[in-house]
Amino acid sequence: MKRTLLAATLSLVAAFGFAADAPAAKDAKKPVTVSYVTNNASDFWQIARAGVEKAEKDFGVKCEFVMPADGAAATQQRQVEELIAKGVQGMAISPIDPANQTDILDAAAAKMPLICHDSDAPKSKRLAYVGTNNFKAGQEVGNLIKEALPEGGKIVLFVGRLDAQNAIERSSGIKDALKGSKVEILDTRTD
């Protein structure tokens, strides 16, 4: 998982495609600046930060690594607006509330290449999504739960945020895989 995330992180920065060829990259006074916006300040994102720092060196770009401390969509939107105003030239983002962030994501996409990671915003004008099919990943987890509890049992699901689209999709996949089994989900909580 760590290796996959690191590779995805490196490819996100590389995917902006203009690190080596852009006029700004040739102008030593104005390096290419991209941004990597997470959906919260969890330790999980420190792996991505390490990948971004490596990519900065490998691709000769500067990257603003932004984590909304409170994990709120309003905070993330404000941070994206600030990055647009600063003139970053590319953005990778894990949108907190994709359905309600389409306008700000489209505003970013109008100014720069925009890639979603970890959580997708398929209705936005993003170039691509790099991440897991969260529903299918949830189904795989559900299958592992059935394997671990062949006689059934009671479980609690944990997600980073209850209202995050990727968490909703993963939980739905787990529930789908557990249909008809003797496994009972007591609750879904945040970790």
pLDDT in tens, 54-112: 989 998 899 999 999 998 999 999 999 999 999 999 999 999 999 999 999 999 999 99
Edge-to-edge, what's the strand order for the sheet holding 128-130? 62-66, 33-37, 91-93, 114-117, 128-130
Are the CB atoms for 67 and 43 separated by under 8 Å? no
List pLDDT tens digits, range 20-57.
444 444 455 678 999 999 998 888 899 999 999 998 99
121, burial (CB in 10 Å: exposed 0-12, middle 13-18, buried 19+): buried
Q: Give the separation between CA 40 and CA 58, rounded to whole angstroms.
A: 26
**How large a percentage of the chain has pLDDT more than 70?**
85
CA 30 – CA 62 distance, rounded (Å): 10
Q: Which residue has the tokens 């004008």?
A: 125
| Contact assessment for residue 121 and residue 95, using Cβ atoms and an 8 Å cutoff | yes
What is the pLDDT of the chain when averaged over all its residues? 87
Extract the tokens encoding 69: 């401390």
pTM of the model: 0.78
Q: What is the pLDDT of residues 82-91, one digit of tens each?
A: 999 999 999 9
How far is the C-alpha of 130 from the C-alpha of 120, rounded, in Å?
A: 8
